[in-house]
Amino acid sequence: MPKVLEGVRVLDLTHVLAGPFGSYQLAVLGAEVIKIEAPDEPDQARFQGSDQDLNDEGMGTAFLAQASNKQSITLNLKSDAGRQILRQLVHTADILIENYRPGALDGIGLGYADLAALKPELIYCSISAFGSTGPKRELTAYDGVIQAYSGMMAMTGEPGSSPVKCGAPVVDYATGTTAAAAILAALLHRKNHGRGQFVEVAMSDVALILCSSHLTGHLWNGWHPEQKGNRYPFATIGCYQAADAPLMISASNLRQQRRLWEALGREDLIKENNRERIRTHAAESEALQEIIATMPVEHWERVLQAARVPASRVQRMEAMLADEHVKCRKVLHRFDESAGALEGLSVPVAGFRLSACDVGVSALPQVAGAQNEQVLKSLGYLNDDIENLRADGVI
């Protein structure tokens, strides 16, 4: 099948997680992504992950997770020669993505206004912690800081406990996904109108979007989301301890709560409206605790799922990955023996499929600067030129 972004070139000046994940989503759609890193300070994600040996080699699993399908060059943008090479690359590119502090690239002549003057069709995406406007525009942050700032941590955890961040860096991944979606919208606009544009994505804005329902409730009547642990307004949504493991039940609507109580033999607890469900939360919760504790989690999964009540045991990642369902969904790509030292590396691809276009991984993550010569020669640089650039610390 064809790749939907085949022929689209992306210059990726991002580092760590949100930006690289956004460009990775374009890469699995077929875009040619050229990752550009400083020769003396490459992406710090290269040195982070679960395998210390890979970290030492600059190929940490935090980097590998979102580096497939990308080329890599090193470029010192503090040098005149490095900036000139980037400008040459801009003439060949459709998209540029960066996640420097707002104004940092403007200060060296590589901001949107500078590069759009060279190529009006360029789509320039800037990802930052707080965006380019407002009093916090110059502050830097990572996922945990934004979770703290946005109120997400304050509403997470058991009542009265210390604030808790989400186990996964959800703001980073959501920011990368948002950036990819915004860039695709800009590409569609360019197709229809012929011009590029500036795309801005702020992690703080994305965090607010992730809290949409809580935000709307608070702004409507001042209601504030507090720590609730695994407690929901309805007792039929929550985590209950089975005989051997915790079980998450989500009998959300009236039909599901009816099927739940029927499956448990407690038709007397069926309610006809949601106000009644809220009023009798304590009694329903007590009944569920007593019933679920009598049998192992496997029993309850079988019974409740057969009754079309959403339910799952709380399990570790390795158990999820061993599930046949995960295997058949093909969300992961596993590199075979042709990957050499990275044989067996498995990476996530995308959380979606396209029926008429290929979404997939075809190329290994690259060491920093692996495509220096290839890319520079495509711009007309000769071997001696490249050696001089290397000697001068430009690449």
Domain residue ranges in the chain: 9-210+331-391, 237-314
Q: Helices 212-221 and 203-210 meet at what angle, rounded to 10?
A: 80
Report the candidate in 147, 100, 108, 94 with the shortest Cα–Cα distance to residue 127: 100
What pLDDT, on a 0 to 100 scale, did the predictor assign at position 16? 96
CATH topology match: 9-210+331-391 vs 237-314: no
Structure tokens at 372: 């220096």
Any catalytic annotation for residue 172?
yes
Structure tokens at 241: 């301890």
- The catalytic residue among 12, 94, 143, 172 is 172
The sign of the torsion formed by the CA atoms of 332, 12, 15, 137 equals: negative
Burial annotation 311-325 (CB, 10 A radius, 16+ → b, else e): bbbeeeeeeeeeeee
Report the candidate in 26, 37, 112, 101 with the shortest Cα–Cα distance to residue 75: 37
Residue 163 and residue 210: Cα distance in Å, rounded?
Answer: 17
pLDDT digits (tens, 9 = 90+) for 241-250: 999 999 999 9
- Count Cβ atoms within 10 A of the Cβ of residue 106 and give its class: 0-12 exposed, 13-18 middle, 19 or more buried: middle
Phi-psi region of 216 (alpha: psi -120 to 50; beta: other; left: phi over 0): alpha
Structure tokens at 385: 């030129």
Structure tokens at 170: 């959800």
Number of alpha carbons in the 13 Å side-chain half-sphere of residue 352:
10
Residue 249 and residue 307: Cα distance in Å, rounded?
Answer: 12
What pLDDT, on a 0 to 100 scale, did the predictor assign at position 160? 94
Whether 355 and 367 have beta carbons less than 8 Å apart is answered as no
Residue 96 and residue 11: Cα distance in Å, rounded?
Answer: 5
Q: Does domain 9-210+331-391 have CATH number 3.40.50.1000?
A: no
Return the H-helix or E-strand segment holding 212. Answer: helix 212-221
Q: Does domain 237-314 have CATH number 3.30.43.10?
A: no
Q: Which residues of the chain have pLDDT under 50?
A: none
pTM, to two decimals = 0.95
Residue 174 and residue 27: Cα distance in Å, rounded?
Answer: 17
Return the H-helix or E-strand segment holding 178. Answer: helix 170-193
Residue 298 and residue 304: Cα distance in Å, rounded?
Answer: 10
What pLDDT, on a 0 to 100 scale, did the predictor assign at position 1? 83
Whether 234 and 281 have beta carbons less than 8 Å apart is answered as yes
- Other CB atoms within a 10 A radius of the CB of residue 281 amount to 16
β-pairing verdict for 123-128 and 95-98: parallel
